[in-house]
Structure formats: C-alpha cells, structure tokens
Amino acid sequence: MPGFELFGDQERKEVNDVLDNGVLMRYGFDPMRKGHWKAKSLEQELQNTLQTKYVQLVSSGTAAVSVALASAGVGAGDEVIMPTFTFVASFEAIMMLGAIPVLVDIDDTLGLDPKAVAEAITPKTKAVMVVQMCGSMGHMDALKAICTQHNLLLIEDACQAIGGTYQGKPLGSIGDLGCFSFDFVKTITCGEGGAVVTDNENWYLNADHYSDHGHDHIGNDRGAESHPFLGYNFRISELHAAVGLAQVKRLPEFLDIQRKHFNIIREALSEIPEVTFRTVPEGGVESCAFLNFFLPDVSTAEKVMIAFKDHGIDACWNYYKNNWHYIRKWEHFKELKSLYPISEEVKKGLEYLQTKTFEQSDHYIGRNISCLIKLSWTEEEVRRRADKMASSIKSLL
C-alpha cells in the first residue's frame, strides 16, 4: 500500500483504451466506446474479488458511505454508531444525510468495542458502522449479533482493508452493505473512487440510481430514462475506473508483497517484550497494509515517534494527536464549524460531544504506533528498516 507505487504497463493500457475512444463518462455514448466499459468491468472484477452479488462504483470512499446509508434508508435524525478511531470522512458522510454520528469506544482490535456499541443504542439508532482501520477488523461476530438482536443495519467501512478476511469472507462483504475507497493512497487506487457492495438487490438498485441523479439506467437512451427518486452525482469516471481495473487484477501481487514486508517487521519487533500487537479476532486475516503495535504508555510512544523521525523512519503515526483520524483533535466536528446551517436535530444529537470522554480509546490510541507497509520497498530496505525500528524502541525502554 499504496498501489500507485507499482504503476506500470497494465495501468497504461487500460487508460489508453479510454483516451483512444474519448469517452470519459461511465454512462452513454455507446457507439463511440469501441467495446470499452471500464466501470462496468471493474464492478464485475470486484464482485468476484469481494465475493459479493452487487457492486456500485462511486466517486470516493466518502461517497460510498453516504450512498450506502442512503440506499438503506438512513437519513434525517437517525443515529449511526461509529468508532472514535476512523477517518473524518466517517462522520462527514453521516452528517451529509442529516443523520447523527454517535461515537463510541474502540478496544484492542482498534475497532468498535461491542460492549460500548450495545450501551449506545437508543430508539433512534438505525445503523452500526464498523470501520476496518489499518487493514484489520473488530469482533465481527459480536457486532453482527448486536445488530441482529436490535434490528440494526451493519455498515462495513472497509476503505482501508481490501484484501483482509474474516472467517474466509472478504472484509467489506460481511455487513449488510460494505464500503471501499480507491483514493490515491489505498492498496488499490483509482486516483479517486469508491464502491458500495451488497447482496441485497434493492439496496444495490437504490445505490445505482441515487449515485447518478436518480437515473434508473433502463434502456439505451439516457435522456429518456426515468427517475424513481431524487439522487445526486457520485459517479466515477472511466479514466479513474480504468486505473482501478488494472490494479484490482494485481491485488494478489500487492497482498503478497504487503504480507512479506509486514512479517519481516513484525518478527523484529516481536523480540521486544514491551511491544504488543493489535488483537486480530480468531479467524481474521489482516490485509497487512499497516502494522499496528502498542507500547507501554503514551510517553514512550511519543518518544519512540521522535526516535523514528531522528533515524529517518517515515510512514509511521501515533494517532493520539492526529487531527484526521481520532476524536481528540476533531475540533471542527465538536464545535460544528460548518459553512451552512446544521439542523437543530443534529445539533441536539451532537451535544454529547461537549462532555463525553473516551478513556478506553485514549488507552489504546495513545500507546499505538501505526506503520504503513509500502509496496516499493526492497527486502533489504525492509530488513534495514525493521532493525532501525527495533533498536530505536529498545534504546528507550
């Protein structure tokens, strides 16, 4: 991760096909296409890769979350439970629909704590959104059981986890709807892009229509298509889909590289007694896009991050003070800094942010270091990096 590190002839061929026919839009212009339908082809490849019945490509991972929620009927005033550790897109996508993000604690999986989820459910709760951060998963069986018991949607944000599996099923295909991102820094990149996946035909059709201004896509004349309901523009372009089509065919290659590099670094750090690793539920297999480990306390984690920087070890983060991925620094969210008025219902629903604390999440995120696993490293570079990381940590313990 990310896939752009290994761009090559496959990506160039797919993009040149689009430039050759000149049709950059995924819909219409049939006579000009010379048989090339990159978005449709990518959707088919993803159906096979993700073992799901339906895939709808959209313009981004953020769009995927909003489209998934809307397709299943989540909207104004509904509460969506989500984790404190994610990307800002998670609450943005919920709020765009007029729904209310309800943040709850994570556990040592770095995913939603099932107990915290159960305690947060109210009569307004419509969905639980798990976020498979950094290539791994939470306790999916427990979370699914809670959703079944309370008749809630299970939305799976697997934007950072393509290639990971749980009990043999691809992450993203386990919930009622799954969401993926193919932005520039993902394992599979389109530059910008995303996907909604589901086995539910009605939700798929809703996503198909909703992401293209409500078009029903029936017939061969776009101008004559009906609009069963309101929609918006979350379309992906053929150029973006072309890059993704080449990349998804290379996913096994990318995953093999990630796992090899991941295991080399993990093995080196495993020799340090004070280093522990995130919990991966039984039956789970990480995508190995990131290696996440814990140090004894926040202070040690901060010192290790400084030591990494001093030794030229890049692409590692401690999210405790990060303003993109963890609740502590989301001031624009807590203070509702918006360009346009936010509904009173949402304002009231988010009042809890003024007093709510997340000590359990702090306990895990404060001690966590997350390291990106690059595809472009040589084995020699990885081993040298692993040695530097281990020696830096040992020098501080």
End-to-end CA separation in angstroms for the chain: 30
DSSP string, 136-184: ----HHHHHHHHHHHT-EEEEE-TT-TT-EETTEETTSSSSEEEEE-BT
Q: Which residue has the tokens 């219902």?
A: 345
Sheet holding 165-166, edge to edge: 169-170, 165-166, 284-285
Instruction: Output the six-digit token pair for 323.
Output: 């303003």
Phi, psi (rounded to 5 degrees) for 209: -75, -50
Catalytic residue among 186, 309, 337, 356: 186
- The rounded distance, in Å, linking the Cα atoms of 4 and 24 is 21
Question: Given its phi and psi angles, is residue 84 left (phi above 0), alpha (psi -120 to 50 degrees) or beta?
Answer: alpha
Q: Is position 34 annotated as part of the catalytic site?
A: no
Q: Classify strands 316-317 and 169-170 as parallel, antiparallel or unpaired.
A: unpaired
Provide the H-helix boundaries in the chain.
9-21, 38-50, 61-71, 89-95, 114-120, 140-150, 201-210, 238-249, 251-269, 298-310, 331-334, 344-349, 359-365, 379-394
State the catalytic residues. Answer: 186
